[in-house]
Amino acid sequence: MRILKIQTLRGPNYWSIRRHKLIVMRLDLENLAETPSNEIPGFYEGLVEALPSLEGHYCSPGCRGGFLMRVREGTMMGHIVEHVALELQELAGMHVGFGRTRETATPGIFQVVIEYLNEEAGRYAGRAAVRLCQSIADRGRYPKAELEQDIQDLKDFWRDSSLGPSTEAIVKEAEKRGIPWMQLSARFLIQLGYGVNQKRMQATMTDNTGILGVELACDKEATKRILAAAGAPVPRGTVINFLDDLEEAIEYVGGYPIVIKPLDGNHGRGITIDIRTWEEAEAAYEAARQVSRSIIVERYYVGRDHRVLVVNGKVVAVAERVPAHVVGNGRSSIAELIEETNQDPNRGEGHDNVLTKIELDRTSYQLLERQGYTLNSVPPKGTICYLRATANLSTGGSAVDRTDEIHPENLWLAQRVVKIIGLDIAGLDIVTTDISRPLREMDGVIVEVNAAPGFRMHVAPSLGIPRNVAGAVMDMLFPNEQSSRIPILSVTGTNGKTTTTRLLAHIYKQTGKVVGYTTTDGTYIGEYLVEAGDNTGPQSAHVILQDPTVEVAVLESARGGILRSGLGFEAANVGIVLNVAADHLGIGDIDTIEQLANLKSVVAEAVFPDGYAVLNADDRRVAAMAQKTKANVAYFTMNPDSELVRQHIQKGGVAAIYENGYLSIVKGDWTHRIERAENIPLTMGGRAPFMIANALAAALAAFVQNVTIEQIRAGLKTFRASVSQTPGRMNLFNLGNYHALVDYAHNPASYEALGSFVRNWNTGARIGVVGGPGDRRDEDFVTLGQLAADIFDYIIVKEDDDTRGRLRGSASELITKGITQVKPDARYEVIMDETAAINKALDTAPDNGLVVILPESVNRAIKLIKLRGLVKEEIQQN
């Protein structure tokens, strides 16, 4: 077997609207193409031995063991690879269930689709599955060591990709509330929501978190001074920079026991508490010096360690943090007890799990000594033996929820203190013997205020009720269900996408909103180009959705992007499908027009249930998408007598109709006439029917988004398809005696559309300069020839400079064949070079004639025309 290609999908796609994370592997079965699994000796046995857990796969029989039954009875290797790839991920702790396998039009080549949670793991699992299956087919087995390594690698990918417990809690809550989120390219920065309604977070800092508050909180001494001045209880202490000052400092705080810690440390680094002798104090000073230049010396307060979490002015959770410890059982040594405790699957490395493994440090031995133990002592049953002085979770501590126990006065104090420091999210470290009594009574203190506090101890305490602290953060960032989204309108179809996208963006601008839009020409925000290029894929969509100024997104969604990586958003408010016609067939395993329709249908289906699919009623494959989408449907039609649309309106639906020369919106009993086609420049005085269709689609999409008829009208009347706005799209030039039209039509349907305009040109002869990109099918060139023969009085056939792998002369020969098939006496000639062909046409253009150029390079064609001394670029014919 050989993997020909691996693609990673990240949004609604050809295979599934709901499952966004899919790997698509194009797999050549090679020698296994003819052999189902039952004909490979020992395959079934080898597979069961390697992966007995495949028993759990139901597959088509719909019961346990269903898939293995298929293997025994005989199924193709692509299908087996799919199940193995899913199972490998499952064994590494990633729960994935979705898979599909289809044979392509090329026999023996399959598309294997598997779900993933982590991209790298998904791709790895695909490759590993092929290796495993090949090995079993060749040798009857897959070495156990290999399999173990595969699973370990997959686990590593999964672990490395995890977001950290606090961020994880936040994005989970966002998903629960239907708030979109994405990771920005700067590590750890998370975007919640879209465009102008977005909020950003990094760990538990938000874009409401002020830099002054963070800096103050990070300076423990300044924090204490501010709090002391406000009458809040803080430890008595001082800051020193030299060992020489230590003795005096100890005296100042009232003598032993004391605490020594670095001025700007965190996570318990460099801290020693409960210091009782000068030797200990000196050692502690040195330890703190490793972390910070300045050193805090404080009185040691006896009590338990609490973390009080304040979000948006309210205490939302309280946890007691218990230092790392083991409990004696009368049999095991302390070393053995630690070993045993660390076996807990909840204990991981660093912050990646609910708890962290216990590790011993310098203070641990000191602490053991004080308790009268060594690592080899066997503590009596039930005795607690502390291993760390501080309770940070990251040093193996655990957490007990105390949210319901905190005294109201402490609650008030905590909220006031956080306000004084000036943080939207803060964690207070409070040492007191009993949090359910006021701090002042217990001689409790606020040790410090943390910016960006971890959520782990609150969302997953070792004991007590987990608290939804992320919910409080979402309430703050998106109050009163304020929308986190902006309207997304996505446009697809075989022809007219860019034109319709631009027009729709222009209509939306009439509402005064900042519109971001993407097209094959580039990405735009408002009036400005952000980036030129073919920007119809998900990355470009993200540029718009991540932009904090954008209020509305209009996104051209072309087949390439959907096929390669899926849509760049989960659902649109409006999905527009203009038409489906033969184009690019045979590329990317989309071989039939039905498959192409299924691909375009993604745009109609990935729409919110309360949104709209705007569909072309005159194109049966597009109209049929109404059955597949869960959204509302709105139709547009050039045919005022359309039966489909009549029934749709009768049932209360909305539609845009071209009737009696008007573009109109019809809803219920009412017809809202927007404007006469001839007053809409884009339609070239009403002579370009396909442009009327595009305008209907754009008007309808705006209408269902509550843009007013007046605004739609204003948009339609002021949108000009000039060269600068839409180069290569029906650009008409007046050269005095004759006209020239440059258009980038490049498939039969768009030639047809263009023809409908050219046929309306009845003042003089019509000359065509035609050709097409070399990667189209032979029959497409023949069709082009046939259509050209039908439309033009004289034809010059040319070829592109870049033949895209086609033999020079082949395209022109096929076009010529088409021409003569339809009109044996047609007048034509072949001039291979595009520049020469265009010049010949312009040189010989008759009075009042029209030269239509379908160029490879739009810019070059326009330059050649302008060299002739342009009278004017016409955008409107009346």
Binding residues (CB under 5 A) for Mg ion: these are: 429, 448, 497-498, 520
Nearest approach in angstroms of CB 498 to ligand ATP is 3
Runs of H (alpha helix) within 351-451:
362-370, 408-421, 439-442
Of 744 and 794, the one with the shorter C-beta distance to ligand ATP is: 744
| CA angle in degrees (0–180, nearest 5) for 381-385-387 | 150
Q: What is the DSSP letter of 744?
A: -
**Residues 63 and 150: beta-carbon distance below 8 Å:** no
Could you please report the per-residue DSSP string of 330-342?
A: SSS-HHHHHHHHH
Full strand arrangement of the beta sheet holding 272-275: 237-240, 295-299, 258-262, 272-275
Strand, helix or coil at 462? coil
Peptide bond into 689 cis (omega under 30): no
Residue 656's beta-bridge partner residues?
636, 665
Q: Does 498 bind ligand ATP (CB under 6 A)?
A: yes
Distance CA 304, CA 315 (A): 19
Nearest approach in angstroms of CB 429 to Mg ion is 4
Of 743 and 799, the one with the shorter C-beta distance to ligand ATP is: 743
Distance CA 89, CA 84 (A): 9
Distance CA 408, CA 398 (A): 25
Per CB under 6 A, the list member of 147, 693, 845, 858 interacting with ligand ATP is: 693
Residue 271 interface partner, choices Mg ion, ligand ATP, none, CB cut-off 5-8 Å depending on type: ligand ATP
Nearest approach in angstroms of CB 354 to ligand ATP is 17
Give the range of 8-16, 133-141, 371-379, 750-758 binding ligand ATP by CB under 6 A: 750-758
Residue 265 interface partner, choices ligand ATP, Mg ion, none, CB cut-off 5-8 Å depending on type: ligand ATP
Q: Does 259 bind ligand ATP (CB under 6 A)?
A: yes
Residue 738's beta-bridge partner residues?
none
Nearest approach in angstroms of CB 610 to ligand ATP is 27
Of 728 and 818, the one with the shorter C-beta distance to Mg ion is: 728
Q: Does 690 bind ligand ATP (CB under 6 A)?
A: yes
Per CB under 6 A, the list member of 218, 431, 504, 541 interacting with ligand ATP is: 431
Q: What is the DSSP letter of 322?
A: E
Of 156 and 434, the one with the shorter C-beta distance to ligand ATP is: 434
Q: Does 772 bind ligand ATP (CB under 6 A)?
A: no
Per CB under 6 A, the list member of 213, 235, 422, 537 interacting with ligand ATP is: 235
Nearest approach in angstroms of CB 536 to ligand ATP is 7
**Residues 495 and 691: beta-carbon distance below 8 Å:** no
User: What length is written for the chain?
Assistant: 878
Give the range of 89-97, 106-114, 295-303, 778-786 binding ligand ATP by CB under 6 A: 295-303
Q: Does 261 bind ligand ATP (CB under 6 A)?
A: yes
Strand, helix or coil at 319? strand
User: What type of residue is 489?
Assistant: L
Nearest approach in angstroms of CB 682 to ligand ATP is 10
Nearest approach in angstroms of CB 519 to Mg ion is 6
Give the range of 43-51, 195-203, 447-455, 841-849 binding ligand ATP by CB under 6 A: 447-455
Q: Does 293 bind ligand ATP (CB under 6 A)?
A: no
Per CB under 6 A, the list member of 75, 89, 390, 786 interacting with ligand ATP is: 390
Q: Which tokens go with 812?
A: 């022109």
Of 305 and 834, the one with the shorter C-beta distance to ligand ATP is: 305
Distance CA 186, CA 163 (A): 14
Taken in order 49, 54, 55, 59, is the CA torsion positive or negative?
negative
Of 74 and 257, the one with the shorter C-beta distance to ligand ATP is: 257
Give the range of 131-139, 674-682, 689-697, 800-808 binding ligand ATP by CB under 6 A: 689-697
Q: What are the DSSP E strand ranges found in 363-410? A: 384-386, 398-401
Could you please report the per-residue DSSP string of 663-697?
A: EEEEETTEEEEEEEGGG-GGGTTTT-HHHHHHHHH
Q: Does 280 bind ligand ATP (CB under 6 A)?
A: no
C-alpha dist (Å) from residue 785 to 391, 690, 789, 798, 827: 80, 21, 6, 12, 12
Per CB under 6 A, the list member of 70, 456, 600, 729 interacting with ligand ATP is: 729
Of 28 and 274, the one with the shorter C-beta distance to ligand ATP is: 274
Distance CA 731, CA 751 (A): 15
Distance CA 151, CA 154 (A): 5
Q: Is 345 exposed, middle or buried (0-12, 13-18, 19+ CB in 10 A)?
A: exposed
Nearest approach in angstroms of CB 558 to Mg ion is 6
Distance CA 94, CA 102 (A): 24
Residue 195 interface partner, choices Mg ion, ligand ATP, none, CB cut-off 5-8 Å depending on type: none
Per CB under 6 A, the list member of 232, 322, 418, 578 interacting with ligand ATP is: 578
Q: How many helices (H) and strands (E) does the chain have?
A: 29, 39
Of 193 and 493, the one with the shorter C-beta distance to Mg ion is: 493
| CA angle in degrees (0–180, nearest 5) for 447-452-458 | 80
Q: Does 305 bind ligand ATP (CB under 6 A)?
A: yes
Residue 25 interface partner, choices Mg ion, ligand ATP, none, CB cut-off 5-8 Å depending on type: none
Q: Does 429 bind ligand ATP (CB under 6 A)?
A: yes
Per CB under 6 A, the list member of 44, 67, 124, 301 interacting with ligand ATP is: 301
Residue nearest to ligand ATP (CB): 496
Per CB under 6 A, the list member of 80, 240, 271, 701 interacting with ligand ATP is: 271
Interacting residue ranges for ligand ATP, rule: CB under 6 A: 235, 259, 261, 265-269, 271, 273, 298, 300-301, 305, 390-392, 429, 431, 447-448, 450, 493, 495-499, 520, 558, 578-579, 690, 693-694, 729-730, 743-745, 749-750, 753-754
